[in-house]
């Protein structure tokens, strides 16, 4: 037994000294130790310390010297030469303290993606494309109102009481004119939403965006909690398909408004659930490109919708045609989409998370070692070398971690970020939707106009995506907001006569060009500002603010003249100023928990004044 203990020369001296100070006749070492342990009130018990020395390794015991034992003299004290290194040299080579196996390590998801799985391999590409198809569904259900609620052209049916040169039908005698395409061409034609009833068109659109605002908040929370990203996306697609088809059978205007409210409620959760689910499995260096690319699917959906609306001229048939793709998505796409590994991690489902990461690595042609395990960011950051050694059974005992907007508000770091993100999204939405709605005043072909408008946004997405990784999120957000605001202010100074009409139109195009890039950027920026446990809740809150801006935008447009451009310009400039207070997130980790975010940010603050954190 003694041959396996880390016995040194000093230990030998200590044992020899203690044996000679033992009361009574000399006894064997084991009996002396037992004898001394049984007498708790013995004034001097050096043998107990010998026992401790025999039980514990050198680095975990208190050295025996004259300081803690007055009766002993330090062997090296009388020697002017330092003999400590010689005395501490082991007589018998001790067993080394067990080190963690080199194959075991605990890493956060970003590290695993970068080192073992690949940041944007074939698996992420397939997952990203399939998930982002949901953005086209959101475009269908949102922009269908442009065609369904349009005011169609009209023609005179009799010479008396109808003036062909009249600007509207409000002053014409009933029965002297008719709608082009019949009463079923739009809701305006079927329910007479003109003249004094024209406000009802804007009301139906505002109610839809109100439903989006409510749905974004609710499904943002559900996707962060028990329902998950994929579960929430499944639910909203089902609701979209059901409410969209039911809208086609609306018997009157108020039932139509109610069903548009419910459709908006489910549509509000489509974009944010699809965005987070598509980008969370992507590595940090590729996440910006992936996030910016999601809006190509939205613009493509708008362009496709213009073709669908051109084929289905009846508003009821159009609602059915635009809702069927949601059913097809549920049946043909969703079964091949995986849940987010980050959501698995924060919910304590580590087995599912590791299985998914192993699948990602295998699909990408890489290998994830069996000894690598997931850890929340604060666990990975705070663990020592030995704590990094983990066993699969221990990981299974992790509890689910959840969060809500209350946690966001409580934290000083996230509270400021939430306020800025909400305000900037609101201002951006006022400009984006306001300039988009202004397009209908161009009096051109509606189908072609919508198609060109959707195509025109794509260069903004491309340029923003290219510059995103070069200049970062913050400078690009400020630049695009100010770019749009400048041209809107310039447009407000132009008069609606002659060549100045064209100049104002160009200013509007450049304004929506810049704001389209900002609108795209804000999704990826907001996603990176908050940890996994509250990411969708925070993004849902920002989306709610954007929907409020969308509700306000039509009321700004009806002001007419140059005033709307002035309002849009001020919104853009103020939004850019607020963006100055946001932190840069380029190549920064996506935190999993609130504690991890606070620790990471405090570490970054200290590293700005100290060379290392």
The DSSP annotation for 35-63 comes to: HHHT-TT-S--HHHHHHHHHHS-GGGSPP
Report the pLDDT value the prediction gives residue 607, as an integer from 0 to 100.
58
Does residue 438 have a pLDDT over 80?
no
In terms of DSSP bridges, do strands 154-156 and 177-179 run parallel, antiparallel, or are they unpaired? Answer: antiparallel
Cα-based distances in Å from 471 to 291, 354, 474, 545: 16, 34, 8, 27
Tell me the per-residue pLDDT of 489-547, one tens digit each, with 9 for 90 and over. Answer: 998 887 776 777 778 778 888 888 888 888 878 877 888 888 877 777 787 788 778 88
Q: Is the dihedral of CA 399, 360, 108, 373 positive or negative?
A: positive
Structure tokens at 592: 């999993």
Ramachandran assignment for 373, one of left (phi > 0), alpha (psi -120 to 50 degrees), beta (any other): beta
Residue, of 355 and 285, whose pLDDT is higher: 355
Report the pLDDT value the prediction gives residue 34, as an integer from 0 to 100.
41
How far is C-alpha 196 from the geometric centre of its chain's CA atoms? 44
Tell me the per-residue pLDDT of 117-148, one tens digit each, with 9 for 90 and over. Answer: 999 999 999 999 999 999 999 999 988 988 88
**154 has which bridge partners?**
179
DSSP 227-242: SHHHHHHHHHHHHHHH
Does residue 344 have a pLDDT over 70?
yes
DSSP 448-488: HHHHHHHHHHHHHHHHHHHHHHHH-HHHHHHHHHHHHHHHH
**8 has which bridge partners?**
90
Residue closest to 352 by CA, chosen among 39, 167, 105, 360? 360
Average pLDDT, the chain: 76
Tell me the per-residue pLDDT of 324-333, one tens digit each, with 9 for 90 and over. Answer: 999 999 999 9
Cα-based distances in Å from 146 to 188, 358, 390, 567: 11, 46, 57, 23
Report the pLDDT value the prediction gives residue 22, as an integer from 0 to 100.
44
How far is residue 484's CA from residue 464's CA, in Å, rounded to a whole number?
14
- How many C-beta atoms surround the C-beta of residue 214 within 10 A? 16
Tell me the per-residue pLDDT of 555-590, one tens digit each, with 9 for 90 and over. Answer: 787 676 778 888 999 999 999 999 999 888 877 777
Q: Max CA-CA distance within the chain?
A: 138
Residue, of 504 and 352, whose pLDDT is higher: 352
Sorting pLDDT into bands at 50, 70 and 90, what band is 606?
low
- How many C-beta atoms surround the C-beta of residue 1 within 10 A? 5
Q: Taking the domains of the chain in order of start, what are their residue ranges?
A: 2-87, 109-151+186-344+401-604, 152-185
DSSP run (H or E) holding 155:
strand 154-156
Tell me the per-residue pLDDT of 382-435, one tens digit each, with 9 for 90 and over. Answer: 544 434 433 443 444 455 555 666 777 778 788 888 899 999 999 999 998 888
Pick the CATH number of 109-151+186-344+401-604 from 1.10.10.10, 3.40.50.10190, 2.30.110.10, 1.20.1250.20: 1.20.1250.20
User: Helix (H, G, I), strand (E, B), or coil: what is residue 179?
Assistant: strand
How far is C-alpha 229 from the geometric centre of its chain's CA atoms? 11
- How many C-beta atoms surround the C-beta of residue 451 within 10 A? 18
Residue closest to 460 by CA, chosen among 514, 423, 505? 514
């Amino acid at each position: 037994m003694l041959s396996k203990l880390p016995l040194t020369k000093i230990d030998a001296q200590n044992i020899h000294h203690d044996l000679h100070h033992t009361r009574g006749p000399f006894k064997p070492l084991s009996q002396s130790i037992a004898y001394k342990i049984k007498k708790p009130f013995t004034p001097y018990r050096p043998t107990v310390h010998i026992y401790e020395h025999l039980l514990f390794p050198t680095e975990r015991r208190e050295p025996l010297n004259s300081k803690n034992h007055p009766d002993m003299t330090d062997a090296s004290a009388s020697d002017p030469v330092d003999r400590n290194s010689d005395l501490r040299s082991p007589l018998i080579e001790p067993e080394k303290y067990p080190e963690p196996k080199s194959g075991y390590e605990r890493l956060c998801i970003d590290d695993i993606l970068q080192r073992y799985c690949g940041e944007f391999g074939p698996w992420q590409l397939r997952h990203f494309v399939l998930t982002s198809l949901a953005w086209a569904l959101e475009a269908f259900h949102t922009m269908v109102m442009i065609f369904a609620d349009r005011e169609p052209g009209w023609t005179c049916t009799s010479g008396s009481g109808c003036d062909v040169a009249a600007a509207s039908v409000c002053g014409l005698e009933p029965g002297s004119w008719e709608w082009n395409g019949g009463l079923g061409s739009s809701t305006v034609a079927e329910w007479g939403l003109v003249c004094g009833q024209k406000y009802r068109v804007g009301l139906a659109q505002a109610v839809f965006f109100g439903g989006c605002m409510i749905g974004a908040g609710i499904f943002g929370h559900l996707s962060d909690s028990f329902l998950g990203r994929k579960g929430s996306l499944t639910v909203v697609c089902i609701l979209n398909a059901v409410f969209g088809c039911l809208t086609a059978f609306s018997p009157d205007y108020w039932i139509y408004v109610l069903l548009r409210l419910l459709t908006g409620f489910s549509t509000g959760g489509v974009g944010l659930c699809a965005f987070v689910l598509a980008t969370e499995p992507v590595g940090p260096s590729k996440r910006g490109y992936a996030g910016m690319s999601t809006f190509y699917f939205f613009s493509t959906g708008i362009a496709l919708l213009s073709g669908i609306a051109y084929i289905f001229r009846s508003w009821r048939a159009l609602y059915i045609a635009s809702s069927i793709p949601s059913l097809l998505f549920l049946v043909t796409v969703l079964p091949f989409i995986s849940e987010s590994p980050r959501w698995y991690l924060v919910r304590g489902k580590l087995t599912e998370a590791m299985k998914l990461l192993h699948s990602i690595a295998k699909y990408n042609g890489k290998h994830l070692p069996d000894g690598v395990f997931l850890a929340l960011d604060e666990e990975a950051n705070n663990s020592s070398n030995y704590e990094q050694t983990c066993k699969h059974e221990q990981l299974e005992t992790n509890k689910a971690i959840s969060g809500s907007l209350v946690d966001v508000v409580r934290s000083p770091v996230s509270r400021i970020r939430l306020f800025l993100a909400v305000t900037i999204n609101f201002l951006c939405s006022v400009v984006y939707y306001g300039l988009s709605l202004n397009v209908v005043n161009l009096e051109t072909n509606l189908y072609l106009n919508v198609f060109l408008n959707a195509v025109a946004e794509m260069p903004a997405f491309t340029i923003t995506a290219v510059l995103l990784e070069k200049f970062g999120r913050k400078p690009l957000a400020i630049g695009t907001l100010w770019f749009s605001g400048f041209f809107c202010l310039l447009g407000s100074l132009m008069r609606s006569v002659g060549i100045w009409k064209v100049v104002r139109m160009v200013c509007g195009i450049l304004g929506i060009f810049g704001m389209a890039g900002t609108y795209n950027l804000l999704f990826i920026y907001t996603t990176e500002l908050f940890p996994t446990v509250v990411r969708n809740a925070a993004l849902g809150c920002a989306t709610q603010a954007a929907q409020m801006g969308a509700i306000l935008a039509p009321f700004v447009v009806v002001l007419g003249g140059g005033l709307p451009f002035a309002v849009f310009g001020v919104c853009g400039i103020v939004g850019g100023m607020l963006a100055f207070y946001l932190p840069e997130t380029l190549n920064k980790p996506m935190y999993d928990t609130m504690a991890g975010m606070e620790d990471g940010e405090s570490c970054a603050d200290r590293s700005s004044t100290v060379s290392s954190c």
